[in-house]
Amino acid sequence: MTQPRHSVWESPSSDPNDETIGDIVEPADMSELDAFDAVLVGEPFDAAVIGREGAGDGPAAIREALAGVKTHHFEGGPIAALGDYGDVQASATDLESVREAVSAVSRTVHDSAATPVFLGGDNSLTVPNVRPLLDRRDVGVINLDAHLDVREGQGTPTSGTPYRELLESGLATYTCVGARHFETSTVYAEYLDEQGGTVITAETVGSDLEEAIHRTQQSVRAVDSVYLSIDCDVLDVAYAPGVSAPTPGGLASRELFRFVRDLASHDRLAGVEIVECAPPLDEGGKTVDAAARVVAHALSGMTAETEPAAAAGGGSR
């Protein structure tokens, strides 16, 4: 692990009244994690991605964009107490060593008082990010994604297998929000249904955002901890061209921001990740800028004093 260089977090603003996230981030080593509300962890690996590579460059680009994002949210106020653990260090082409290194760091952060915010990297890293939690509590994952990612493994983990791996390892509940019609094979939809999973399509989110948030909150009402994963391809290709598998029919950025902030304010939140942001595939920085603001909305949600009202009441898939 390397500590972030100070220059990465310098604010680009010339206005002394502009407090940006670049002004508030502090390096956080293993002994200092408890001093922060949230800690960023970079995971610059994409050797397991299905499709177009480039997500390995995600953490650096997200940090650079995040440095210029202002800290103020109109309902939540300013973000504070944010640390940066740096990047996980491993051979980028050795999947086993990557997973071991990521798991060791994620366990360390999960054991602290800080909430981890993992900057991916490809979606296969969700497994070592979540598995340390499964040892001690019932965990539900909410995955904002165009795809279910419950493919059968073919001997090597990929960005398409993480949630099958986690369900087979004892994940209590799995909810996919933003799934696209005609992007998932029937056999995988049936598998997830057999596992008691919940699917809330992008079409459903677009037609009734409040109901979609309510259903998502209800899907994790019985677990001890909630882990939130955001795959950038949940966004429509117009908002996020820089992903491994861009497709039309996805969420708008404003819908995603609202969803993330509400879900990150969950009183049992155990961690957040953003994956599949691939800067080399981006157009005009659209995807990177959206990813940085997703992180900002998640950080703002973590400071909320109460869980959203959508978590109460009945109704489920």
Contact status, residue 232 vs residue 291, Cβ threshold 8 Å? yes
Does domain 6-311 fall into CATH 3.30.470.10?
A: no
Q: Can you tell me the distance from the alpha carbon of 59 to that of 74, in angstroms, rounded to the nearest whole number?
A: 27
Q: 13-59, pLDDT tens digit by residue?
A: 889 899 999 999 999 988 889 999 999 999 999 999 998 999 999 99
In angstroms, what is the C-alpha Rg of the chain? 18
Query: For the whole model, what pTM was predicted?
Result: 0.93
- Catalogue the E-assigned strands of 145-252: 173-179, 198-201, 225-231
pLDDT in the model for residue 305: 52
CA distance 271 to 215: 20
List, for residues 187-238, the tens digit of each pLDDT value.
Answer: 999 999 999 999 999 999 999 999 999 999 999 999 999 999 999 999 999 9
pLDDT digits (tens, 9 = 90+) for 262-295: 999 989 999 999 999 999 999 999 999 999 999 9
pLDDT of residue 155: 82
Could you give the CA distance from residue 67 to residue 170 in angstroms, rounded to a whole number?
A: 37
> Would you list the domain boundaries of the chain?
6-311
